[in-house]
Amino acid sequence: MRIFITGATGFIGSALCQRLCSESHTVAAFHRPTSTISDISSYNITRYIGDLTDSDSVMQAVTAFKPEVVYHLGARMNPAPTVNRLMQVNVMGTRAVLLAALRNKVSRVVLMSAAVTLGLPELHARSNHPPAELNESRVQNIQSELWPFAKSKYLAEMEAQSAATGGLDTVMVNPFLVIGPGDRYRRKSSFLMQMKTTAPLIIPRGGINIISLDDVVTGLINACRYGRSGERYLLCGRNITYQQLFETCAEIAGFTPPKLLYENQTLTKIIEKLRPDAPLQIETLEGSIYTYADRYFYYNPKKSRVALHLPPTGNLEETLRKAYQWFEENV
């Protein structure tokens, strides 16, 4: 199968390229001239140089390669230097890819979105009830000025939905936090390395969903095989509290886990002033994780696991350990 991939030199994109090449597909990578290609350079991959904000370069690459399938993974997470740049890459770039796919009669487009497009979970009541798990049917509640990345990915999904109504076969997948070895773009900014460098003093009450890189690649491939056009599928790993995560990371990285549990959002600024050098950010969220105390970014995997024929997820502790080892060897 002829497969065209944007974001092909990124953490997930390069792993997807490697898997598809190992399955004997014909793969093309679309990337910027400044991208690091070391992770895909040893594979038989056709490379096209361009930029998602340059719609002509996107159209020319897709037209030249004539793919059967397009995986659109290219995106920007950081709103710097401007939010406009973020929107141009994530929204207008998605539109350019979809238009090129439509004009070249691509059989299917798989869009890599994010679970944050479901919006902020509700504050969790202090009770014995477990936190609610969000699913694909949840209506987003994102304010763009507060969470520009999430808003941009939601708008990108709307572009895909519009393309699907226009006859283009599109499928969307939505992981939350993806972990694994090989994340060269976050060798210092990964929360694992942040914790090692400056061990946190306080644990926020709340939690997140973490999935391994291998499981995400499998989810992308199975979404292409089994997904229904116009649908989105959460790629879910393990729902884990920050307390469990901090304790696991402390064991792996060799620091003392904090004992104090923080559960009051009104104290966020005070907490951050205690360690102004360590805001502790997780790339999928915007700002310090203490801002999200009492929120559980927990997701329900039932729909995607059944519809996409996904195997059980990998062991989280092993995934974190392998990622940490890779960071240690490659910082």
| Mean pLDDT value across the chain | 91
Residues 6+ apart with CB under 8 A from 210: 176, 177, 178, 179, 237, 238, 240, 245, 316, 319, 320
Tell me the pLDDT tens digit for each residue of 163-191. 999 999 999 999 999 999 999 888 878 88
Cα–chain center distance at 12: 8
CA angle at 23 for the pair 21 and 24, rounded to the nearest 5°: 65
pLDDT score for 290: 82
Q: Are 62 and 100 in contact (CB under 8 A)?
A: yes
List, as one string, the DSSP characters of 48-109.
EE--TT-HHHHHHHHHHH--SEEEE--------S-HHHHHIIIIIHHHHHHHHHHHTT-SEE
Confidence of residue 123 (pLDDT cuts 50, 70, 90): confident
Q: Are 116 and 147 in contact (CB under 8 A)?
A: yes
Tell me the C-alpha to C-alpha distance, in Å, between residue 99 and each of 89, 102, 105, 278. Answer: 15, 5, 10, 42
Closest CA to 219 of 182, 178, 160: 178
Closest CA to 180 of 323, 326, 314, 325: 323
CA distance 202 to 225: 44
Tell me the pLDDT tens digit for each residue of 222-272. 999 999 999 999 999 999 999 999 999 999 999 988 887 776 666 666 666
* Statement: residue 65 has pLDDT above 80: yes
Number of Cβ atoms within 10 Å of the Cβ of 187: 14
Mean pLDDT check: name the lowest of 46-55, 121-130, 225-234: 121-130
pLDDT score for 159: 97
CA distance 45 to 5: 10
Tell me the pLDDT tens digit for each residue of 85-120. 999 999 999 999 999 999 999 999 999 999 999 998
* Statement: residue 275 has pLDDT above 80: no
CA distance 246 to 291: 16
Sign of the alpha-carbon dihedral angle for 270, 131, 134, 217: positive
Question: When comparing pLDDT for 277 and 242, which is higher?
Answer: 242
pLDDT score for 264: 62
Confidence of residue 145 (pLDDT cuts 50, 70, 90): low
pLDDT score for 143: 67
- Model confidence, pTM: 0.94
